[in-house]
Structure 1
Amino acid sequence: MQFSVFTASTPDWTPQEAAATLAAQGWDGIEWRITDQDPADPPGFWAGNRATWPLTGLEDSLPEIDRVTRGAGLAYSGLGGYARSFERDDVARLLSATATLGAGRVRVTMPLLKTGDYRDLFAGARKDLEWATAEAARLGVSILVELHHETITSSASAALRLIDGLDPATIGVIHDLGNLIYEGHEDHRAAFQLLGPYLQHVHIKNVAWHPSSTAPDGTVTWRPDWATLREGQADVAAYLHALREHGYDGWVTLEDFSTKLPLEERTRDNLAYVKSHLA
């Protein structure tokens, strides 16, 4: 397996700082966050993230992205796009950028459940992906569909139902350990077997559920929150072992949104932790 970091989880670093630091720590690659954001926002995971390349004008940034990435000795584990499947112009732009960079694969996000009737969203996304995979095939790249809570593909079963029959050379699934603690958990080995050739990428982070309030009748309400790899509800070690036993040998991307440790210490410790369980 090869290990990378998704820069959504490194908001305090510039792209140059992220690449240099991660390379010095021994990471194999990097997964760049690509989306437009307000430059006035303070640094944060999903707003003001300094390790983000803007989608608007992305074509002009490609030489610099490649210089920063390859200059640090890092490979691309993929591109972390935020364009939704129905935003075809933006999807086309990301696919083209992926081909130009030689990054191989790019995430295309799925519709949110709250935006409509599930059946309509699902049917629309399937049509969008049929169009997008044809474009991906033309460019020689691949689309990644992430297992993500509150979308139409929160589980491996749902993702497979959506993309089944599409060419695995042009589309695959990101199996995301942390997101599955929110919603969509299925036995990991079964999910890997179910996805078959569509299991093409892995994201690792961790989550823990905490009681947030108690009603007068004693009913407890729970809320999820990000946790360190060691302290969340997902058994990261067992997950890595299951991946290895399945024969997965692709990219494993860390995106730790916990803040218990300072950023540089967090990324260094995460790499040591995952490698220790595959030694």
Structure 2
Amino acid sequence: MRFSVFTASTPEWTPAEAAHELAAQGWDGVEWRVTDQEDAARPGFWAGNRATWPLETLEESLPEIDRITRGAGLDYSGVGAYVPSADRDNVERVLAATATLGAGRVRITMPKLGSAPYPELFAKTRDDLAWAAERAATHGVTGLVELHHGTIAASASAALRLVDGLDPERVAVIHDVGNLVIEGHEDHTAAFELLGPYLAHVHVKNVAWRPVGTRPDGSTAWAADWAPLREGQADIGAYLTALRDVGYDGWVTVEDFSTALPLAERTRDNLAYLRSLAG
């Protein structure tokens, strides 16, 4: 396995700083966040993130992205874009950009639950992914569906329904152990076996459920909270073992949104922890 960091989780660093720090710590690669974001007084994961490349100017940024990445000695684990599957013009753009960078794969965002009846969302998204698979083939890259809570692809089973029958070299799945603590958990080995060739990429973070108050009926209210890799409810060691047991030897990309440790210490400790588990 090779280890990388998704820069949504490194908001305090500029791209050059992120590449330098991650390379110095011994990471194998980087997954750049690509989206148009809101400004913020202080850098945050979702707004004001300094390690984010704007979608609006993506094409003109490609030489600089590659110079920074390759110059630091890092590889691309992929591109972490936020383009909805229905936005075909921008899906085309990020597929083409991924090909230009030689990054191999790019995330395509699935629609959220509740934006339309599920059968309608499913049918439209399936059509969009079939189109994306054709375009990905033209560019020689892969579009990725991430298992993500609150979307129509929260579980491996749901994601497989969306991509089944499409070319797994062109449309595949990101398995995300942290998101599955919130919604969509299935036995990991069964999920990996179910996905088969569609298991193309892995994201790792951790989550803890914590009591946050009392509901009107007197029962305990709970909320999911980002946690350090070593402290959340997901057993990361067992997860990596299950990946190895099914023969997965690809990228494992960390997106740690906990803040208990300073950023540089957090990324350094995450790599040490993952390498200790990977053997």
What is aligned with 2:276? 276
* Residue 128 of structure 1: how far off its partner (Å): 0.5
Aligned-pair distance for 1:39? 3.6
Aligned to 2:246: 246
Percent identity, aligned pairs only? 70
Is the contact made by 1:207 and 1:226 (CA closer than 8 Å) also made in structure 2? yes
Within the alignment, does 1:24 sit opposite 2:24 as a pair? yes
2:104 counterpart of 1:104: yes
What is the identity, as a one-letter code, of the residue corresponding to 1:100? T
How big is the shift at 1:133?
A: 0.7
AA in 2 matched with 1:224: A
In structure 1, distance between residues paired with 2:185 and 2:89 = 32
Please say if residues 41 and 47 of structure 1, whose CA atoms lie closer than 8 Å, have aligned partners that are also in contact. no
| Unmatched segments (≥5 aa) in structure 2 | none
In structure 1, C-alpha distance between the alignment counterparts of 2:257 and 2:209, rounded to whole Å: 15
Note if contact 1:32-1:80 (Cα within 8 Å) is conserved in structure 2. yes
Looking at structure 2, the residues matched to 34 and 49 of structure 1 have their Cα atoms a distance apart, in angstroms, of 10
1:134 correspondence with 2:134: yes
* 1:71 counterpart = 2:64: no
Q: Please name the residue that 2:188 is paired with.
A: 188
Q: One-letter code of the match for 1:193?
A: E
- Secondary structure of the corresponding residue to residue 278 of structure 2: coil
Report the alpha carbon displacement of residue 215 of structure 1 after superposing the two structures with TM. 3.5
1:40-93 CA distance string (max 9 Å, x none): 553100111000000002100000000000000000000000001001111111
Separation in 2 of the partners of 1:31 and 1:95? 15
The one-letter code sitting in structure 2 at the alignment partner of 1:163 is V
CA distance, structure 1, for counterparts of residue 246 and residue 230 of structure 2? 23
Amino acid in the other structure paired with 2:244: R
Query: Given the two structures, how large is their TM-score scaled by the length of structure 2?
Result: 0.98
**Structure 1 vs Structure 2 CA RMSD:** 0.9
Letter aligned with residue 129 of structure 1: L
Shift of 1:103: 0.4
Q: Give the CA deviation at 1:114.
A: 2.4
**3-state SS of 2:32 partner:** strand
1:147 alignment counterpart: 147
Q: Provide the aligned length of Structure 1 versus Structure 2.
A: 279
Relative to structure 1, the CA distance from residue 260 to residue 40 in structure 2 (aligned partners, 3 Å threshold; closer, same or farther) is: closer
TM-score normalised by the chain length of structure 1 = 0.98
Amino acid at match of 1:102: G
Give the AA of the match of 1:97.
A
CA distance in 1 between partners of 2:234 and 2:260 (Å): 17
State the one-letter code of the partner of 1:30: V
CA distance in 1, matches of 2:41, 2:191: 38
More moved, 37-46 vs 236-245? 37-46
Matched, 1:221 2:205: no
Instruction: Could you tell me which runs of 5 or more consecutive residues in structure 1 were left unpaired when the two chains were aligned.
Output: none
Tell me the amino acid that sits aligned with residue 95 of structure 1: L
Residues 172 and 216 of structure 1: CA distance in aligned 2, closer, same or farther (over 3 Å) = closer
| Maintained 8 Å contact 1:203/1:255 | yes
CA–CA distance in structure 1, aligned partners of residues 88 and 164 of structure 2: 21
